[in-house]
Amino acid sequence: CPKKCSRTRDSKAIATGDDLYAWKSDVSPDLAQLLAMLVQILGAEQCIEVGVYTGYSSLALALVLPESGRLVACERDAKSLDVAKKYYQLAGVSHKVDVKVGLAMDSLESLILNGEAGSYDFAFTDAEKKMNEKYFELLLQLVRVGGLIVIDNVLWHGKVADPLVNDPKTFSIRNFNQKLMEDKRVSISMVPIGDGMTICRKR
């Protein structure tokens, strides 16, 4: 998947300087590969991503979804989404991606109100860190039993392990990590790949 994503997003061939800068701020290729592998292992058909940015991770997911699969991609920044949508089209996966522009909370709540609770196999969140807990509670409603919720940046450059670092974002991530560890609704595994990610399986 990273090879195909990289070919699709080859900066020398198709990306502007702005696109290339944005791409470097997306998830790492090894993390994107792991996310795609998890989706394949699950045999997932219905996925959600919270925090698309310019679409590297969502492209990796869409590429491994079956033709009938659907990825709900939630992103508030329309400019970033314009970049992502260009690459969806180049990769031939636009028909699999249901883009939701606006606040992720609103998009997730709308899915629940639309009767889609328990119908998703996989969710990935890489958005505003102070909102992790709220995103998680909504995603837990949307994901089926046995499905996965993956949270990115749980190590936060190692800051969460440093008791001397207590800025609001680090404090929020640290507290959320602790709550996840004690949450009986999920089984978890924290993986030290990239900036750390926690894989949660809904019980």
- What are the pLDDT digits (tens) for 167-180? 999 999 999 999 99
pLDDT of residue 27 exceeding 70:
yes
pLDDT of residue 11 exceeding 50:
no
Cα 72 versus chain centre, distance? 10
Q: Measure the CA–CA gap between 78 and 84, rounded to whole angstroms.
A: 10
pLDDT of residue 184 exceeding 50:
yes
Kind of pairing between the strands at 197-202 and 186-191: antiparallel
- What are the pLDDT digits (tens) for 95-112? 999 999 999 999 999 999
Strand partners, 95: none
pLDDT of residue 92 exceeding 80:
yes
Cβ-contact 40, 1 below 8 angstroms: no
pLDDT of residue 13 exceeding 80:
no
pLDDT of residue 59: 97
Phi then psi for residue 85, to 5 deg, are -65, -30
Put simply, whether the predicted model's pTM sits higher than 0.85 gets the answer yes
Q: Measure the CA–CA gap between 50 and 54, rounded to whole angstroms.
A: 12
Handedness of CA 134, 74, 156, 4 (dihedral sign): positive
Nearby residues of 95 by Cβ (< 8 Å), 6 or more positions away: none
- What are the pLDDT digits (tens) for 97-152? 999 999 999 999 999 999 999 999 999 999 999 999 999 999 999 999 999 999 99
